[in-house]
């Protein structure tokens, strides 16, 4: 599987780059004076964070590879667009390009909850890539986003989702009564454990923990907890991940996309493929460093869960696949593909 994934990844990135660099070489000198297209790109992270920098690099790649014909203004969290508003902003054209967190927009795009990864899904990066690129996920999601006026570009994979709490979790019984930042399917998962889910953006987590509005929070990954300084106000990490990995998209307003000539479309796709590669490879490298950084600041892991705890954890996610399959036609198609894996 890993060999298959490596070959697939190389084909995606290398193929996209060869097309983009070919047209980019022709257009760079011709368009060095003024941008033909001015885009605004909103992402989930604040300026100066690890993942914020990766999005910034993507914007720079689009500008460089297009020879300046596309100018991209990078908009970080808290700089004009709330995280909850990224999807709607891309749909309306207020934002040209967006990287949104699907659980924050469950009502607007139900299929996004299946896209990001339901509890109980695979943690294998190779399997996830094949699921999207070869087994039909990309095709279904392309239609789902197109129905709402957006173009779906290359998705990217982030590491597992973990829960950080202010008090130690010694058994799953300790989840009862806790207020946890856990949007989307994650919220339904923790509700099945007796907790009360709360939906808030990543930039609100630190204050929510510090003031007691919430007792714990998921991060999109461990690195998010580190970059948000969450371990300063919540020091206990539960050992079992809610999801083994997350898959997130980059989307573009369709009207803006349709204004691009084919060569610039190829360049944007290539830059997105490079971004997906960087997200995956860098996040794996950063994850171990994030753990070390948080442990140095006093973060502790919960005790090893008992077999009974593991069984209760698995049961909490058992019915979510069927529940989300009923959300809309696209979710039903995606869940059916998952069942055939």
Do 256 and 145 sit in the same domain of this protein?
yes
Within 66-213, residue ranges assigned H as helices are 86-92, 111-116, 125-133, 137-146, 184-191, 205-211
Of all residues in the chain, the percent with pLDDT exceeding 70 is 90
Asked if 112 and 90 touch (Cβ cutoff 8 Å), the reply is no
- What is d(CA 112, CA 234) in angstroms, rounded to the nearest whole number? 29
pTM over 0.85: no
Higher pLDDT, residue 278 or 63: 63
Higher pLDDT, residue 94 or 33: 94
Flag whether 194 is in a domain: yes
Flag whether 339 is in a domain: no
Do 93 and 235 sit in the same domain of this protein?
no
Determine the pLDDT at residue 264: 98
Q: Coil, strand or helix: which one is 241?
A: coil
Range 119-138 average pLDDT = 85
Determine the pLDDT at residue 63: 97
Flag whether 335 is in a domain: no
Mean pLDDT, the chain, whole residue set: 87
| Minimum mean pLDDT range among 22-31, 51-60, 243-252 | 22-31
Do 51 and 123 sit in the same domain of this protein?
yes
φ, ψ dihedrals at 124, nearest 5°: -80, 120
Do 151 and 230 sit in the same domain of this protein?
no
Question: Per residue in 101-117, pLDDT tens?
Answer: 898 888 899 999 999 98
Q: How many domains does the chain have?
A: 2
State the CATH number of the domain containing residue 193. 3.40.190.170
| Minimum mean pLDDT range among 9-18, 162-171, 220-229 | 9-18
Q: Coil, strand or helix: which one is 302?
A: coil
Do 60 and 112 sit in the same domain of this protein?
yes
Higher pLDDT, residue 175 or 285: 175
Domain of 142? Answer: 12-157+247-283
Flag whether 138 is in a domain: yes
Determine the pLDDT at residue 33: 52
Range 44-71 average pLDDT = 92
CB within 8 A of 56, min separation 6: which ones? 74
Of all residues in the chain, the percent with pLDDT exceeding 90 is 61
Long-range contact pairs involving 34-38 (C-beta distance under 8 Å, separation at least 24)? 34/68, 35/68, 35/69, 35/70, 35/71, 36/69, 36/70, 37/69, 37/70, 37/71, 37/256, 37/259, 37/260, 37/264, 38/71, 38/73
CB within 8 A of 251, min separation 6: which ones? 87, 90, 97, 98, 99, 100, 145, 150, 151, 152, 153
């Amino acid at each position: 599987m890993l060999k298959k994934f490596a070959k697939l990844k190389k084909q995606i990135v290398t193929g996209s780059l060869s097309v983009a660099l070919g047209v980019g070489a022709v257009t760079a000198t011709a368009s060095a004076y003024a941008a033909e297209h001015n885009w605004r790109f909103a992402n989930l992270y604040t300026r100066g964070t690890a993942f914020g920098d990766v999005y910034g690099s993507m914007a720079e790649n689009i500008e460089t590879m297009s020879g300046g014909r596309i100018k991209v203004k990078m908009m970080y969290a808290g700089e004009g667009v709330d995280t909850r508003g990224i999807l709607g902003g891309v749909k309306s054209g207020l934002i040209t390009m967006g990287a949104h967190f699907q659980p924050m927009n469950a009502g607007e795009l139900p299929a996004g909850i299946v896209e990001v990864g339901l509890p109980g899904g695979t943690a294998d990066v190779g399997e996830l890539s094949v699921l999207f690129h070869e087994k039909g996920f990309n095709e279904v999601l392309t239609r789902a986003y197109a129905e709402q006026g957006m173009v779906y570009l290359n998705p990217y994979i982030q590491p597992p989702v973990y829960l950080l709490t202010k008090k130690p979790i010694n058994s799953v019984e300790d989840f009862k009564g806790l207020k946890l930042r856990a949007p989307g399917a994650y919220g339904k998962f923790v509700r099945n454990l007796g907790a009360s889910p709360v939906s808030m953006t990543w930039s609100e987590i630190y204050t929510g923990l510090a003031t007691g509005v919430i007792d714990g929070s998921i991060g999109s990954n461990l690195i998010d907890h580190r970059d948000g300084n969450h371990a300063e106000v919540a020091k206990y990490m539960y050992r079992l991940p809610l999801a083994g990995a997350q898959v997130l998209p980059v989307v573009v307003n369709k009207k803006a996309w349709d204004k691009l000539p084919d060569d610039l479309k190829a360049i944007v796709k290539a830059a997105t493929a490079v971004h997906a590669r960087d997200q995956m490879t860098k996040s794996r490298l950063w994850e171990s460093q994030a753990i070390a950084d948080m442990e140095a600041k006093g973060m502790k892991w919960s005790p090893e869960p008992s077999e009974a705890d593991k069984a209760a954890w698995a049961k909490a996610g058992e019915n979510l696949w069927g529940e989300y399959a009923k959300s809309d036609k696209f979710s039903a198609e995606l869940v059916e593909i998952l069942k055939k894996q």
